[in-house]
Structure 1
Amino acid sequence: MHHAEITPLMKDALVILGAAGIVIPLFARFRVTPIIGFILVGLLVGPFGLGKLVSDFDFLRHITISEPEALDPFAEFGIILLLFTIGLELSFNRLWQLRKLVFGLGALEILVIGALLAVALSLTGLDWYGSLALGLALAFSSTALVLPISGTNTPVGRASLSMLLFEDIMIVPIIFLLGALAPNATGDGWSGLLDTLWKGGLVVAVMMIAGRFLLPHLFAQAARTKSPELFLAASMLVVIGASLATALVGLSPIVGALIAGLLIAETEYHTEVEGIMEPFKGLALGVFLITVGMGIDIMVIWDQLWQIAFAVIGVLTLKAIVTGVLLRLMGARKATATETGILMASPSETTLIVMAAASSALLISRETAQFWQIVTAIGLTVTPLLAMLGKRLARQVEPAPTLDELDEEGRDAPRVVIVGLGRVGRLVAQMLKRHDVAYVAIDSDPDLIESARHDGYYAVYGNALREDALDKLNIDKAPAVILTMDEHILAQRMVRKLRTAFPELPIIARARDSFHAAELYRSGASTAVPETLESSLQLSEAALVDIGVPMGPVIASIHEKRDEFRERIQEDGALEHKPKLRTSTSEN
């Protein structure tokens, strides 16, 4: 009987999938980003790791990558999917709001860092053309690693996004510039650049106009079939088609992917598309990181250990300082400038692309390119460590506002206290502000506090379970305390502590379900609001109104049903010992 042979590509796919199955849960268990794990796997199974020993130990060929170059298309596709999903999280309105940062801060960042690196490299004996090429290449930062770490909704995320967007725009002009500077470049280098720019601009304009009309109809048809497979196929068609369109006119395919994501973000189907694409993006990004790890040669690092260490430290330090200073000049807070500068310090996957273009144009030698490729790979590897270092230094440079920094009015005036400033806490704060009810929010996550204060919320950093925190918040004068945290046990502890210290204080607590609500009532909550109950009541209200039932009777029945459920939950909580407390304003 004939047995089909396993092809090298199938075997490599098995190695990668096996690595993903081990790396992701293992690193997640220790709360470490899998980015480092994927790079280390690439180093281990690549040609400079166990691959070197295949000739001596034949069994190793089954757990190593046979054809590293065959993985390059998959790595590139991972970056395309990443930029597509980033586009889904944005919108054209938001990009328009960031225009000053993108073309101001972004332009300054890459031009200033590129020029300074070029000067530094020229002092090492490298000619000006090669220095300029390497300086611009190393000025890029990693979109694939920075944005998943920083997000796009925090001050650090917004600053990083603006710089990374400009870098993505500058990829093509820089690569064409390198071609024009090549020793054997012809006089049509600049004309080729202009040709690509006008063609690219035309394609982008057509995509934006056509996409606004065609995409809603395309995804509406896919949604009507109720077929996840068809929805996935439509999503893949859009992202691949947009990437090919920009690539055919000389632009980077990631430009097309980003625009496709932005267009879909304007439709009502963006959440579904984002959910479908997420697993593919994560796996493809893992393949890219594995290819980065496969490019690291331990022996070369050992032979040039001090030179590589000096180069890595020098590049990271220069980029961190320049980026931080530029952010401060643009008005960013010290903490934001410090954290963003350090996070953006490492080189990028785009650095490898620009280096390859510079090497092909004979602006740098093969040995020089290999040296800086290793520096770039190490920089990518330490990016998660830079993120942790940036957070720590940012808190030391400018600690989050604490309870000691409550203004005098905040110390004396009665304020509703909101514990927890996530999604629910923010919404509660918005409603209190709309009705002119004074409040102060407290959270133990400094990043949440920084982001909330940037968005205009009155928030302080602190642990609400501490006795001194309760004293500084003047809980005894507060009209009410609203607990919005999602931690089951922490909420109960907080309710019990507050009820013991302040018997008459109204305590309104968020509950996961009716069972959790009953436990909160037993602990002493005045009102416990189960998320499942409220979502069911809101759904019922919307349905009744939409089918024509008058609003007044609907609202009355909803309140009646809410009171009925609340009484039942209180009975389940065995609250005979609980004193009669004032009804919260949310019930009125």
Structure 2
Amino acid sequence: MTEYFLQAFIYLTAAVIAVPLANKLGLGSILGYLIAGVVIGPIIGLVGSETNTIQHFAEFGVVMMLFLVGLELEPKMLWAMRNRLLGLGGLQVVGTILAVMACATYAGYGLSTALTIGLIFSLSSTAIVLQTLSEKRLNKTHAGKNAFSVLLFQDIAVIPMLAFIPLLALPELVEKAQAAVSSMSEQHEQLSLVASLPGWAYAIVLVLAIGAVVLGGHYLSRPLFRMVADSGVREISTAAALMLVIGIAALMSLVGISPALGTFLAGVVLANSEFKHELESNIGPFKGLLLGLFFITVGAGIDFSVLFADFSEIILMTSGVMLIKGIVLYLLALIFRIKGSDRWLFALSLAQAGEFGFVLLSFSVQQHVLPAELAQTLSIVVALSMFLTPGLFILFEKVIFPRFQKKTNQRAQDNIDEVGCVVIAGIGRFGQVVNRLLISNGIKTVVLDHQASQVDSIRKINTKAYYGDATRPALLTTAGIAQASLFVVAIDNRESSVALVKYLHHTYPKLNIVARAFDRGHGHLLKEAGADIVESETHHSALEVGAASLRLLGYSDDFVSKRKSTYKRVEKEASKRLYAQWLTESEGERFSNDFLNLFMRYEERLKQAMAEDFEVQTANEAYKSETESTSSSEYNKHNK
């Protein structure tokens, strides 16, 4: 028992240290787990022979992952994405398989082995790509949306791959495995319901098993989870979710089907269930831990002697895989008319192998499709390609994107043929609202934006805007800044907005300046630079959401209105004091402990003000009720 505790402590400690560090460096959690495994395995040697045994247990995390993937696949969403999902995603998988398979065959591998290698390398890292796109705010771009479609198709494609790989088993590997573990094979036969059945009976059992999953998931799961939910016992809800996944996996194993296939199918059946989110929240932590454990065991099982012995070959294979995938993706981007920098982002972001590659490698060895030595080499290639992914994003950000941005902005700035009493710099979401309100009230505006595409988009809806950099004095002069009464700064760059406000304040001291702030710190900088009015981009909308939340919780409109007024009053007072404190601090000490303490005092002041208002309002309502009651009694007495 002590040995198990120590091993668990080692694995958990490695994960707790490595994963946060990897996330902080932009490498992603998957690479963090792999690094943790490499450190405690080949480098330090804290874990050893038990790694393979633990990996078999941890592979259940893959089963849970595919169940959760199935839960996300609502039919309406899949239908809406059908063109990109089947067209772009399907062609990427098929194209990559054929290209890699051709190279592997040329290198001397057999047809079955080459096809398996193609299947493994056709997949990309869903975890790394989606996380990086989200962190860099690229997930809403054209490239980001198309990358998501491809990744989703790849996740779905894992299911038929798991079902197909056993058909590629090599006879020599099967014979070798049977000779080595004949006793274990006999034990497995005893746990199978279909081992001795004829072909027609086996087919009937498969249909019945899949039908049981579909019908049971649709008709029996709802009353089961409703009964569990009515009990109000949280741990029973978690137990029921685990029971469902484990039971389906066990049933699929007994009838000779991949457990992952069965749980994926169950997830799709339950995708429209009202208990979908409850299942996700219950299964999610177990999936995350087991998958993390699986990737740690993958890292711990990497044999560095293989890397050093065949270093040039592995580097060549890694480069070749990423180049092949990049070319396939780039050609598909051309076919599907993904333009400009989005084309390169799409190709580079998906050029690596993925975490499912480790799953398919492990499964291929178990099913006697790949020899263990080759699988070890391929796992290093998969890991290296994932390690190189952050570098591809840096290449895009630092080299490729600036070039396309420069080309986009090479057109000459527009000739401004009118002047207005208000100049607006920036016509994004924030600037559009300001501009619409002003022009709807007959106020003449001159709108400037440094993004040509944004100006062209705005013109399509009959809103006049001019392309040009508002931070350039010459353009401001052309825009009639000397005759303007008000300047609205709504550009989306913090440093540029502060510099622009500072220039306007010193050059045109009589000009009123209103500026959009991203947060409190940015607002302080804008005030210091000379802005007359500074508004946070989310302050008012967030306050309205808070007020709407109070109404939905049952509070009256009068109650909510007074609480909003109290919040605004305290916030206004706090903003003045916090800004004064901020000004007294040196540049290197801003947001010091004194500032934070003052902020916390105003948080307490806000609670106190709300409590005082509540007492006053309660007293007023009681007095009003008592007065109305007295008046009513006197009226009744008079009538008698």
TM-score normalised according to structure 2 size: 0.64
For 2:34, which of 39, 54, 58 is the aligned residue? 39
Deviation by residue 1:56-88 (Cα, 9 ceiling, x = unmatched): xxxxx4xx4562124325643555666677788
One-letter code aligned to 2:43: G
CA drift of 1:120 comes to: 1.6
Superposition pairs of residues 77-116 of structure 1, within 5 angstroms: 78-79=61-62, 93-116=76-99
SS at match of 1:377: helix
Query: Does the alignment pair 1:539 with 2:522?
Result: no
**518-527 or 252-261: which moved more?**
252-261
Show CA shifts across 1:334-380 (max 9, x none).
42232222222222232333344444555444433333233223223
Confirm or deny: 8 A CA contact 1:418 1:484 kept in the other structure. Answer: yes
> How big is the shift at 1:326?
0.9
Find the residue that maps to 1:370 and give its secondary structure.
Answer: helix
Within the candidate set 120, 144, 147, 1:157 is matched to 144
Question: Structure 2 CA distance, aligned partners of 1:518 and 1:125?
Answer: 66
Q: Does residue 159 of structure 2 align to residue 172 of structure 1?
A: yes
Quick check: 1:7 aligned with 2:14?
no
Equivalence for 1:57: none
1:295 is aligned to 301
Aligned position for 1:50: 44
Identify the residue that residue 322 of structure 1 maps to in structure 2. 328
Following superposition, the deviation at residue 89 of structure 1 comes to 8.1
Match in the other structure for 2:179:
none
Question: Per-residue deviation at 1:315?
Answer: 1.2
Inter-partner Cα distance in structure 2 for 1:167 and 1:144: 12
- State the 1:303 CA deviation: 1.4
SS at match of 1:481: strand
2 CA distance for matches of 1:24 and 1:169? 27
Aligned partner of 2:329: which letter? T
In structure 1, what is the Cα distance between the partners aligned to 2:7 and 2:13? 10
Say if 1:571 and 1:95 are closer, same or farther in 2 by CA, change over 3 A: same
Change in 2 beyond 3 A, CA 1:176/1:494: same
Which moves more between the two structures, 34-43 or 464-473? 464-473
State the shift of 1:320 in Å: 0.9
Match for residue 342 of structure 2?
336
- Unpaired runs of 5+ residues, structure 2, are 175-194, 441-445, 581-640
Paired AA for residue 488 in structure 2: V
Residue correspondence of structure 1 range 270-309 to structure 2 within 5 A: 284-309=290-315
CA distance in 1, matches of 2:20, 2:530: 39
Matched-pair contact (CA < 8 Å) for 2:116–2:165: yes
Q: Which amino acid aligns with 2:401?
A: R
Which of 112, 118, 122 is the aligned partner of 1:139? Answer: 122
**Mapped partners of 2:338, 2:227: distance in 1:** 42
Residue identity in the other structure for 1:529: E
Q: In 2, distance between residues paired with 1:179 and 1:35?
A: 27
How many Å apart are 1:25 and its aligned residue?
A: 4.5
Kindly indicate whether the alpha-carbon contact (under 8 Å) linking 1:243 and 1:254 is maintained by their aligned counterparts in 2.
no
Deviation at 1:138, TM superposition (A): 1.9
Map Cα deviations across residues 219-268 of structure 1 (whole Å, 9 max, x no partner): 9869xx6xxx92x8746754773575377443563884697599679869
SS at match of 1:290: helix
Please identify the structure whose Cα radius of gyration is greater: 2
Whole-Å separation in 1 of the counterparts to 2:528 and 2:127:
48
Contact 1:72 1:288 in 2 (8 A): yes
SS in 1 for 2:405: coil
Cα displacement (A) at 1:309? 1.8
Using the alignment, how far apart are the partners of 2:95 and 2:54 within structure 1? 34
Letter in 1 for 2:59: E
Range moving further from structure 2, 530-539 or 153-162: 530-539
Partner Cα separation in structure 1 for residue 342 and residue 419 of structure 2 = 31
CA 1:153/1:374 → structure 2, altered by over 3 Å: closer, same or farther? same
Q: What is the rounded CA distance, in whole Å, between the counterparts of 1:113 and 1:121 in structure 2? A: 12
Match of 1:56 in 2: none
- Correspondence for 1:481 among 447, 468, 488: 488
Give the conservation status (yes or no) of the 8 Å contact 2:487–2:513. yes
Separation in 2 of the partners of 1:326 and 1:194?
A: 41
Match of residue 245 from structure 1:
248
Give 1:386-535 correspondences, 5 Å limit: 386-392=392-398, 394-395=400-401, 398-399=404-405, 404-405=410-411, 408=414, 417=424, 426=429, 429=432, 467=472, 476=481, 480-483=487-490, 495-502=501-508, 503-510=510-517, 512=519, 520-521=526-527, 523-529=529-535, 535=542
Question: 1:167 and 1:30, CA in 2 relative to 1: closer, same or farther beyond 3 A?
Answer: closer
**Alpha carbons of structure 1 residues 246 and 37: separation in structure 2 relative to 1, 3 Å:** closer
> d(CA) in 2 for partners of 1:67 and 1:189?
38
Contact 2:35–2:296 (Cα < 8 Å) also in 1: yes
| Distance in 2 (alpha carbons) for counterparts of 1:263 and 1:99 | 20
Q: Distance in 2 between matches of 1:347 and 1:190?
A: 39
Q: Does 1:68 align with 2:51?
A: yes
The equivalent residue for 1:376 is 382
Aligned letter for 2:153? F
Which residue in the other structure is 2:585 paired with?
Answer: none
How far 1:43 moved relative to its partner? 1.7
> Shift in Å at residue 442 of structure 1?
6.3
Q: CA deviation at 1:319?
A: 0.9
- Contact persistence 2:58–2:291 (CA under 8 A): yes
**1:34-67: per-residue Cα shift (whole Å, max 9, x none)?**
5444323322221x4332xxxxxxxxx4xx4562
Pair 1:315–1:516, CA change in 2 (3 A)? closer
**How far does residue 322 in structure 1 lie from its aligned partner after superposition?**
0.5
Q: Contact 1:418 / 1:440 at 8 angstroms: preserved in 2? A: yes
1:20 offset after TM fit, Å?
2.9
Structure 1 position 126, deviation (Å):
1.9
2: CA distance between counterparts of 1:165 and 1:13? 33
Asked if the contact 2:471/2:500 (under 8 Å) is kept, the reply is no
Q: What percent of counterpart residues are identical?
A: 22
Deviations 1:277-334 (A, max 9, x none): 8776665554333223223211111111222222111111111110121122112124
When residues 464 and 181 of structure 1 are mapped into structure 2, their CA distance, relative to the original with a 3 A threshold, is same
Q: Which letter does structure 1 place at the counterpart of 2:152?
A: L
Structure 1 residue corresponding to 2:104, chosen from 108, 121, 135:
121
Q: Which residue of 1 aligns with 2:14?
A: 19
Higher mean C-alpha deviation, range 182-191 or range 168-177: 182-191
Q: Distance in 2 between matches of 1:538 and 1:407?
A: 40
1:367 aligned onto 2:395: no
- C-alpha contact 1:239 1:260 (8 A) present in aligned 2: no
TM-score, length basis structure 1: 0.69
How far has the Cα of 1:428 moved from its partner? Answer: 6.3
Letter of the 1:504 counterpart = L
Q: CA separation in 2, counterparts of 1:37 and 1:105?
A: 30
SS in 2 for 1:528: strand
Relative distance call for 1:427 and 1:492 in structure 2 (3 A) is closer
The answer on whether the counterparts of 1:12 and 1:66 sit within 8 Å (CA) in structure 2 is no
